[in-house]
Structure formats: C-alpha cells, structure tokens
Amino acid sequence: MLRHFGRLLIQGPQKFGGVFKHLLTIKDGQTYAPSRVYWCLAALTQIILTFWHVIVLGKDFSSTDFGTGMGLILTSGGIGVWITRKTEPDA
C-alpha cells in the first residue's frame, strides 16, 4: 500500500501536468492556444478573487454570484474554443 502511495506522489503531478497541457494546447499537443490560456487564467482569477473577498475582506459568500460569474467565464471560453475548432491545424 505504501509503495503504491509513494509512486502516486511521484507520478501524480506529472500526469496532472499532462492534463493541463492537453487542455491548453491545440490539436498538435505542442502549441499553446492563447485563448485557452486566457480562459483558464480568467477562471483561476475568479476563484482567487472569491477567496480574497470572503477570507481577507470578511464578506459573505454568494453562491449565486459565484456560479453566475464562473458559468459565464466557462461558457464564453467554451464558445471561443468551439468557434476556433476549424482553424486549428490537424495533428
């Protein structure tokens, strides 16, 4: 059990990094798509600012506002990826 857990600790971040690279690159798997990178940065910024608002400033968390904002970010990014799907070169 412990041997498996150690292997997971070593190989886990490498596999997780591969998932991020797959999400951020175009079909060839090497070229990063700026629109996808900006999309992930916008979602990460939303999460960080929510933590700042709640933890540091001590404001109440509004799940409706958070869900609406994150939903708009994810929807607009998905539409952007869908629009550019035919302009990406094949692998």
Domain ranges for the chain, please list them. Answer: 2-86
pTM of the model: 0.67
The 3-state DSSP class for residue 56 equals helix
| pLDDT in the model for residue 54 | 92
- Of 5-14, 18-27, 29-38, minimum mean pLDDT range: 5-14
pLDDT band at residue 14 under the 50/70/90 scheme: low
Q: Which residue has the tokens 């509004």?
A: 62
How does 27-50 read in b/e, with b if 16+ C-beta sit within 10 Å? eeeeeebeebeebeebeeeeeeeb
> Residues 33-83: pLDDT tens digits?
888 888 889 999 999 999 999 999 999 988 999 999 999 998 998 898 888
Give me the pLDDT at residue 4, please: 53
